[in-house]
Amino acid sequence: MFNTLKAGALALALSLGAAACVAMASPAVSAAAAGPTVRIDNFVFGPGALTVPVGTTVTWVNQDDIPHTVVADDKSFKSKVLDSDERFSFTFTKAGEYGYFCSLHPHMVGKVIVKAG
């Protein structure tokens, strides 16, 4: 009886552990499916130019050790100051070219090219 209880407890622990692993993996899949990501790292936006269809949400992620911002040349979007690992997202609803820069480090520039349907 004791061995049966131990085996049952082990099976339960293993199944809960597997469920936790699946649950932890799910947000990563959802985030990746949400739209393209621009990395901010080592004073560079990567990729420097990104082409997307109208309606796409682009997310910038600061993976640098210091704060950065994302500001459109035409001021159509502007992030707050992003500390390490913080994100900013913007949905592009009109076709066109959107240049942007970091207001703290103006030499950092990038571009999102938005194509109609």
For residue 85, how far is the Cα from the chain centroid? 9
CATH number of the domain at 34-115, please? 2.60.40.420
Helix, coil or strand: residue 49: strand
* DSSP secondary structure letters along 62-87: E-SSS-B--EETTSS-B---B-TT-E
Q: Tell me the pLDDT of the chain (117 aa) as tens digits.
A: 545 444 444 444 444 444 433 333 333 333 444 699 999 999 999 999 999 999 999 999 999 999 999 999 999 999 999 999 999 999 999 999 999 999 999 999 999 999 997
| The total number of residues written for the chain in this structure | 117
C-alpha–C-alpha distance, residues 41 and 117, integer Å? 31
pTM over 0.75: no
Domain map (residue ranges) of the chain: 1-33, 34-115
Whether residue 47 is preceded by a cis peptide bond, meaning omega within 30 degrees of 0, is: yes
Tell me the sheet residues that pair with 96: 114
